Structure 1
């Protein structure tokens, strides 16, 4: 499912508690996808999981972040092929997208792209993200 289907409302953008109270899939699709991607990578240190993002072609602003391993992605929809993630998001947005490899750490990404660090959420999103990762069976299992 496209990340854009879960975009935050005006109240969810202005009130961290309201945003926090959304269902896990909505929370990790829009507003905390970057947290989920880094937690996924940290959850499997024996795998060479990278972090990538998508943006509308030609735009600077990233709108969705996900983990990638061997052609598979992990985001709010669980494990899916990267081509499928890119296709569903491009179709939803109705515009071509660009994949962006992320080479900085979480703090650097947040500073560069104006995303929240874990301590800027209403509550700590790290345990919630770890639980979400644990509920999805990776493709190598």
Structure 2
């Protein structure tokens, strides 16, 4: 599990300068998920949120169709993404780390809705993360990625 150096998340320019996968994996996952849903490269996806227990870190938002998931890692099986995320946070956190999974019922690109949940809105970054997310998503062959995933599962 990648750990950011202290102070990066508090410095908008240093955060912005992170490589895409780290940027979207450490604080801007909601922007990537919201942009994915806006562009809809594959139909039938919705956003889910991993919410750690009180006092724990490890919030994460990804999109899924219930079986396949997408986040900054790319496409994976939903159950594998959840296992990777939860076991990683349980390993590096204080004992007793736990979480719950919820469907996202708010606009992932709306600053007011995001701020109410202690997340930055798209206009609160050093640059425009929606443009960055679109560029990230455009570099992926979504259909081929899902086909490869299905072949590896069979």
- Runs of 4 or more consecutive aligned structure 1 residues displaced over 4 Å after TM superposition: none
Displacement after TM superposition at 1:85 (Å): 0.5
- Unaligned segments of structure 1, at least 5 residues: none
Cα RMSD for the two superposed structures: 2.3
Equivalence for 1:110? 114
- The answer to whether 1:123 aligns with 2:127 is yes
Answer yes or no: is the 8 Å Cα contact 1:79–1:136 preserved in 2.
Answer: no
How many residue pairs end up in the alignment?
136
**Counterparts of 1:75-114 in structure 2 under 5 Å?**
75-94=71-90, 95-106=97-108, 107=110, 109-114=113-118
- CA deviation map 1:67-103 (0-9, x unaligned): 1124111111001111000000111112443211111
TM-score, length-scaled by structure 2: 0.78
**Which residue of the other structure, out of 16, 25, 30, is the alignment partner of 1:29?**
25
Query: What's the TM-score, normalizing by structure 1?
Result: 0.84
Give 1:9 shift.
3.1
Shift of 1:48: 2.6
Deviation at 1:14, TM superposition (A): 1.7
Secondary structure at the aligned position of 1:14 is classed as: coil
Larger Rg: 2
CA contact (8 A) 2:8 2:14 kept: yes
